Each structure stands twice: as C-alpha cells, then as structure tokens.
C-alpha cells in the first residue's frame, strides 16, 4: 500500500491502571515499565485460563500487538491468544 494512503501509526503507551490479570496484580506495573529486566508473571506455572487484559480509555484502532520478552522468554505463554472487544466484554 502506498505510504500516501496508509493510516499513520503510533505506539500506544500503556499504564498500570489499564491492566487487569487473572492473578498476581501487584506485579502488573512491571509489564509496562519499559524495562526489559522486569516482568509480570503468574504466581505459579502458567495454566490454561491465565490472562492479562488491557482496557484502553477510549475506542482505539489497533493494527499490531508486540510482546517484548527481553531475557525472560522461558516465562512466555506457549499458547498466547489475543482477543479484542469494542464493548469490553
């Protein structure tokens, strides 16, 4: 697609109040602090049904989701799924 007709993209800054999780909410700020040496993780080994949710403050067009693992790749979900909702449900 020619650059002249592409919709401009910009990074979306996430903050701790936008995040919810199935467990270990105290460590959620580590997921968005911009430091690769910190991370959010579940209290125990990940199980099906563990989740992290982001609630954006307003409807936002999202064209890409990047999961940056840094040196913690061994903690990454093996069956990651991304779901989006216009109504928060």
CB 22 within 8 A of CB 49: yes
Compute mean pLDDT per 10 residues along the chain, 89 residues long, and list them: 84 93 94 90 86 90 84 76 82
pLDDT on residue 66:
85
pLDDT on residue 32:
94
CB 17 within 8 A of CB 35: no
pLDDT on residue 19:
94
Ranges assigned E (strand) in the chain: 19-21, 52-54
């Amino acid at each position: 697609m020619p650059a002249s007709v592409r919709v401009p993209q910009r990074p979306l800054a996430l903050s701790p109040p936008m995040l919810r999780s199935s467990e270990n909410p105290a460590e959620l700020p580590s997921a968005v602090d911009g430091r690769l040496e910190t991370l959010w993780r579940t209290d125990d080994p990940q199980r099906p049904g563990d989740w992290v949710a982001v609630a954006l403050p307003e409807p936002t067009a999202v064209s890409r989701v990047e999961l940056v693992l840094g040196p913690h790749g061994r903690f990454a979900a093996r069956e990651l799924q991304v779901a989006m909702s216009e109504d928060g449900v």
